[in-house]
């Protein structure tokens, strides 16, 4: 598969989960996002550089849910039978063209409705990593990208929250409130 081919399919099977994140089956991606959505497993990745800036991506206009919205570096779903650790590394490489170590932070359940078009209803595992190299985005997934200073991001989220995906806003609130200080502490 070339880097410019689509890496998502509406027919790919997503892992359905219960309220405790236990697997209960699978369904095509399109069905999981219709109407109010069906609870399924997902992940979200936050990438910082050495200056503690956060990598944001602008979702492709081709996305059915939240097209052209700014979001965190990468978010997607594990394949049926794939470990979450393999899934996050796979998708980071597919979407942004790089690899880096990722660390699990927390997981949470959320629901976000995108008008009558559909919804996200996910049990989302949140990861972070640090990367300072070349970013080579897959243009079928990402319209634009940038690193943003944390203070600038905070100001943008207050001034124009409608430009950001709901999961980014929820996750950033949790990360900035409970994890941010520890992320930048030197490892002992």
Residue 62 contacts residue 156 (beta carbons within 8 Å): no
Claim: this prediction has a pTM higher than 0.75: yes
Q: Is residue 8 part of a domain?
A: no
Catalytic residue among 13, 95, 120, 122: 122
Which phi and psi angles does 144 have, rounded to 5°?
Answer: -160, 165
pLDDT of residue 88: 98
Tell me the mean pLDDT in the region 154-167.
98
Q: Per the domain annotation, does 179 fall within a domain? A: yes
pLDDT, residue 3, reads 40
Question: What is the pLDDT at residue 182?
Answer: 85
- What gap in Å lies between CA 47 and CA 162, rounded to an integer? 22
Residue 2: the pLDDT is 39
Tell me, yes or no, whether 188 lies in a domain.
no
**pLDDT, position 162:** 98
User: In the annotation, is 75 catalytic?
Assistant: yes
Domain assignment present for 145: yes
Whether 154 is a known active-site residue: answer: no
The residue-averaged pLDDT of 171-185 equals 91
Pairing mode of beta strands 118-130, 40-48 = parallel
Q: Which of 32, 74, 75, 124 is catalytic?
A: 75
Q: Which domain holds residue 34?
A: 13-183
Stronger pLDDT, 24 or 11, i.e. the higher one: 24
What are the tens digits of pLDDT across the range 41-86? 999 999 999 999 999 999 999 999 999 999 999 999 999 999 999 9
Cα end-to-end distance, the chain, whole Å: 41
79-137 tens-digit pLDDT: 999 999 999 999 999 999 999 999 999 999 999 999 999 999 999 999 999 999 999 99
Alpha-carbon distance of 124 to 138, in angstroms, equals 22
Per residue, the 3-state secondary structure of 16-55, as one string, reads: EECCCCCEEEEEEHHHHCCCCCCCEEEEEEEEECCCCCEE
The Cα 27–Cα 38 span in angstroms is 9
Domain count, the chain: 1
* Residue 1 covered by a domain: no
How far apart, in Å, are the Cα atoms of 151 and each of 77, 117, 163, 176? 30, 33, 17, 11
CA–CA dist 162, 54 (Å, integer): 19
Whether 176 is covered by a domain: the verdict is: yes
Return the CATH number at 158.
Answer: 3.90.79.10
Q: Which run of H or E residues covers position 146?
A: strand 142-148
């Amino acid at each position: 598969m070339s880097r410019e081919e689509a890496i998502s399919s509406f027919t790919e099977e997503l892992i359905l989960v219960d309220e405790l994140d236990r697997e209960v089956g699978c369904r095509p991606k399109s069905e999981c996002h219709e109407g109010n959505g069906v609870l399924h497993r997902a992940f979200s990745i936050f990438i910082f550089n050495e200056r503690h800036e956060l990598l944001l991506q602008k979702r492709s206009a081709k996305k059915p849910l939240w097209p052209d919205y700014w979001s965190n570096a990468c978010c997607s779903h594990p394949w049926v039978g794939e470990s979450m650790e393999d899934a996050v590394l796979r998708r980071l490489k597919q979407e942004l063209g790089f690899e880096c170590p990722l660390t699990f932070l927390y997981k949470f359940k959320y629901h976000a409705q995108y008008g009558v078009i559909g919804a996200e209803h996910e049990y989302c595992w949140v990861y972070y990593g640090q990367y300072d190299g070349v970013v080579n985005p897959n243009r079928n997934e990402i319209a634009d990208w940038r690193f943003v200073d944390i203070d600038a991001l905070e100001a943008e989220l207050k001034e124009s929250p409608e430009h950001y995906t709901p999961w980014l806003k929820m996750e950033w609130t949790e990360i900035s409130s409970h994890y941010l200080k520890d992320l930048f502490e030197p490892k002992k």
